[in-house]
Chain A
Amino acid sequence: MSRYQVLKKLESTLEGFLQEAVRPEKVSIEGKRTIETLHEIAGESLRGRFINNQLSGWFSQNSRLLESKSLSESDITKVANFLGSIKSGLDESDPESIKLSEKIDDWRSRGVIPRRKLILKLKPKTGDKNLLNEFMNLLTKESQYINSGEFDNMHLLSALDDILRSAELKNDSMYAHLAGSMIYYLKANGYKVEPFVKRLKDIEQKRSERADK
């Protein structure tokens, strides 16, 4: 086997290893395990046990958890709830606990926020009976648009930029709705979204001015 062939084989092996190591499904399973570990730490904390070392270790092991995008919204909520429960049990007079408490606050600032169930108590108006269906249709339309291939391999920020441009040019409220949804998601993941929020507000303002004329 020539040197060239050996190198090509090595290249293929290394690429295979890396692709397997960063496969989303694999990262996702690791994400589930890591939530289970945090659940256990929260349980220990509730039982009044000293969990600082475990929590510190958990933070150190999972510092890239949010950026890996392996957690669903529901997983993030679970993490947030466990961290909230742990935080309430930390001894605020102990410097190490204060540090951990600040770390929890840092995660919150990056979108790991406990959420409560929102219960709507108003009965729907008769005219709104198909609103849920309309909303579902809009989500389906948005999903088909995102999966159209136009955004393949594009970073979400670049996709958002394109969609905001479409929202400016086209008379279809789907683009503004989709942009709003993406902005919310990016903000929840710690991205700076203020310029996009401003653009979306401007678009909405112009749309409303056009509607008034």
Chain B
Amino acid sequence: MSHPEESYGKALEALRNKNYRAATGFFKLAENQFADNLDFRILSEVTALLIAVKDEINEIVNSGFVVEEIFTDGQEAELRG
């Protein structure tokens, strides 16, 4: 990748396609040039946060402890772990 600008553009395209992990990779390639650019920092940091949240969700799902709330007639009946 020769231009950090090109990486930034690809990061935006990846975000539009909801390919957040790819976007993070492209943000990293562009970060030296855009460290002072507020838009860049917000987008790259929110993307990193979103990935962390997704990882956390996956961890919960894969741990087998998906907490399911069971409602009966509108009332919470029990919590299953």
Contact = CB atoms under 8 A, between A and B. Distances in A.
Interface of A: 2-4, 7-8, 10-11, 14-15, 17-19, 21-22, 24, 27, 60-61, 63-64, 66-69, 153, 190
B47 A18 contact: yes
Nearest to A9: B53
- What secondary structure prevails in chain B residues at the interface with A? helix
Given A4-B67, A7-B60, A21-B43, A67 B50 contact: no
A172 B8 CA distance: 37
A22 B8 CA distance: 12
Contact of B53 (A14, A22, A60): A14
- What secondary structure prevails in chain A residues at the interface with B? helix
Contact of A68 (B9, B17, B67): B9
Given A14-B46, A14-B49, A18-B46, A2 B69 contact: yes
A190 to B, nearest CB: 7
A11 B43 contact: no
Interface residues of B, number: 32
- The residue in A22, A24, A69 that gathers the most chain B C-beta atoms within 10 A of its C-beta is A22
B50 A18 contact: yes
B12 A64 contact: yes
A60 B8 CA distance: 13
A22 B16 contact: yes
B66 A4 contact: yes
6 contacts: A7-B57, A18-B46, A18-B47, A22-B43, A66-B9, A68-B8
